[in-house]
């Protein structure tokens, strides 16, 4: 099977042939249809994830068809179209696991970071951590839902969104665009915060009622004038962008970070204590969150704009991401 292998930090992926692996107990072999290229893949390849185990096949936005099941697996059956996400396994018996919060398990294992992921024609995955795709959902366009979509959807839930919440989304790119569409579908009022007005038309097309361009407007002041945001979701890979909005939260409001970098988050503590403000960094989600994300996306016809690439184009796509070229989510498609 054709496979892209990261041999070490800061090395380009090597495209190579490998034997198709066998699924062990509790595992399924998935013939991969598509795998999205996530910003976290770049972070891993550039050495910002010390838990990464090289040599490694990256990729955690996987869709494919179950080709074989290992001993003891009765679900999902061979032939089922499934998706696999960042969280690839957990212990199953700690307090977090038994409460359905497997993403917090201290012994969790991450797909494409500590074991081989989706930049290959086949992957072996834990049966309990793959999710059947809802009927009719295009498995190629759905690949980014397994991380970008799940993270956006679950961040809105973690931030206690309700109908009529005022939600501000920083960063109109991949995760941000999905967050806007999910928030609108959940009944929220949405503002989008971008550096320039380049993506204003698309934000409004997705249902945003307000666009704040930080090159000419103070985002916190603009949010206050709007009545304050109940939830600010930062989808930009910049902690500073989130810091600049914090005083624009309404009382009891949440800042949820999906995007961040190495910069510190500077907290306006007086304002925060007077208004009981919350800050959270949300790591994707648990298997039930994946199921809900896929069901909600199918019900509201929310799929990301994607650019299809081949496995041999993965290095070029990662280089473009490293250079900061914004664009549609790149998705590796297998024949
Ligand atoms: Zn656990
Ligand atoms: Zn990801």
> What confidence score (pLDDT) does residue 205 get?
96
What are the tokens at 264? Answer: 């510190």
Please report where in the chains the tokens 């996530």 appear, as a residue.
Answer: 38
Residues 232 and 294 in one domain: no
Domains in the chain, number: 2
Could you tell me the distance, in angstroms and rounded to a whole number, from the CA of residue 131 to the centre of ligand 1? 19
Mean pLDDT of the chain: 96
Residues 69 and 27 in one domain: yes
- CA of 149, nearest ligand number: 2
At 324, the pLDDT band (50, 70, 90 cuts) reads confident
Helix axes 174-185 and 148-158, enclosed angle (nearest 10): 50
Q: What percent of the chain is predicted at pLDDT more than 90?
A: 94
Q: Give the CATH number of the domain where residue 99 resides.
A: 3.90.180.10
Q: What is the pLDDT of residues 82-122, one digit of tens each?
A: 999 999 999 999 999 999 999 999 999 999 999 999 999 99
What is the residue range of 82's domain?
2-147+284-333
Residues 142 and 6 in one domain: yes
- CA of 117, nearest ligand number: 2
Residues 264 and 174 in one domain: yes
> What confidence score (pLDDT) does residue 21 get?
97
What is the pTM assigned to this prediction? Answer: 0.95
Distance CA 248, CA 173 (A): 21
Q: What is the dihedral of CA 162, 299, 172, 59, to 10 degrees?
A: 120
Contact 245, 193 (CB under 8 A): yes
Across 194-198, average pLDDT:
94
At 225, the pLDDT band (50, 70, 90 cuts) reads very high
Residues 43 and 77 in one domain: yes
- Burial grade of 22 (CB within 10 A; 0-12, 13-18, 19 or more): exposed
Could you tell me the distance, in angstroms and rounded to a whole number, from the CA of residue 286 to the centre of ligand 2? 14
> What confidence score (pLDDT) does residue 332 get?
98
Q: Give the CATH number of the domain where residue 178 resides.
A: 3.40.50.720
The separation between the first and the last C-alpha atoms of the chain, rounded to the nearest angstrom, is 12
> What confidence score (pLDDT) does residue 326 get?
66
Could you tell me the distance, in angstroms and rounded to a whole number, from the CA of residue 274 to the centre of ligand 2? 35
Residues 63 and 165 in one domain: no
3-state secondary structure of 89: strand
**Of 161, 212, 181, residue with least CA distance to 305:** 181
Which element (helix H / strand E) includes 200?
Answer: helix 200-205
Residues 214 and 168 in one domain: yes
Could you tell me the distance, in angstroms and rounded to a whole number, from the CA of residue 152 to the centre of ligand 2? 11
- CA of 96, nearest ligand number: 1
Please report where in the chains the tokens 């989600």 appear, as a residue.
Answer: 285
Residues 194 and 264 in one domain: yes
Distance CA 63, CA 328 (A): 18
Q: What is the pLDDT of residues 253-308, one digit of tens each?
A: 999 999 888 899 999 999 999 999 999 999 999 999 999 999 999 999 999 999 99
Contact 63, 82 (CB under 8 A): yes
- CA of 94, nearest ligand number: 1
Could you tell me the distance, in angstroms and rounded to a whole number, from the CA of residue 224 to the centre of ligand 2? 32
């Amino acid at each position: 099977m054709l496979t892209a292998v990261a041999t070490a930090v800061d090395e380009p992926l090597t495209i190579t042939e490998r034997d198709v692996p066998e699924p062990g107990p509790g595992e399924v072999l998935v013939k991969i249809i598509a795998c999205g290229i996530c910003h976290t893949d770049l972070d891993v390849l550039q050495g910002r994830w010390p838990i990464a185990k090289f040599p490694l096949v990256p990729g955690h936005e996987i869709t494919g068809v179950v080709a074989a099941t290992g001993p003891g697996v009765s679900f999902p059956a061979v032939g089922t179209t499934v998706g696999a996400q960042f969280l690839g396994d957990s212990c199953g018996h700690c307090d977090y696991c038994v409460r359905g919060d497997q993403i917090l398990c201290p012994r969790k294992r991450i797909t494409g970071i500590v074991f081989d992921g989706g930049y290959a024609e086949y992957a072996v995955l834990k049966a309990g951590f793959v999710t059947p795709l809802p009927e009719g959902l295009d498995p190629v366009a759905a690949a980014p839902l397994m991380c970008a979509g799940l993270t956006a959807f679950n961040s809105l839930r973690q931030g206690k969104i309700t109908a009529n919440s005022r939600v501000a989304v920083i960063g109109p790119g991949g995760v941000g665009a999905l967050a806007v569409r999910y928030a609108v579908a959940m009944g929220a009022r949405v503002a989008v915060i971008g550096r320039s007005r380049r993506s204003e038309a698309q934000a409004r097309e997705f249902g945003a009622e307000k666009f704040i361009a930080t090159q000419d407007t103070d985002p916190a002041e603009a949010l206050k004038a709007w009545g304050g945001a109940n939830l600010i979701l930062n989808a930009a890979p910049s902690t500073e962008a989130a810091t600049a909005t914090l005083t624009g939260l309404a009382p009891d409001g949440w800042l949820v970070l999906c995007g961040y970098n190495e910069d510190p988050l500077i907290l306006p503590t007086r304002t925060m204590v007077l208004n009981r403000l919350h800050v959270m960094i949300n790591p994707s989600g648990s298997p039930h969150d994946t199921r809900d994300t896929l069901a909600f996306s199918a019900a509201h016809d929310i799929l990301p704009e994607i650019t299809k690439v081949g496995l041999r184009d993965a290095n070029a796509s990662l280089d473009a991401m490293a250079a900061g070229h914004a664009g549609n989510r790149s998705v590796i498609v297998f024949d």
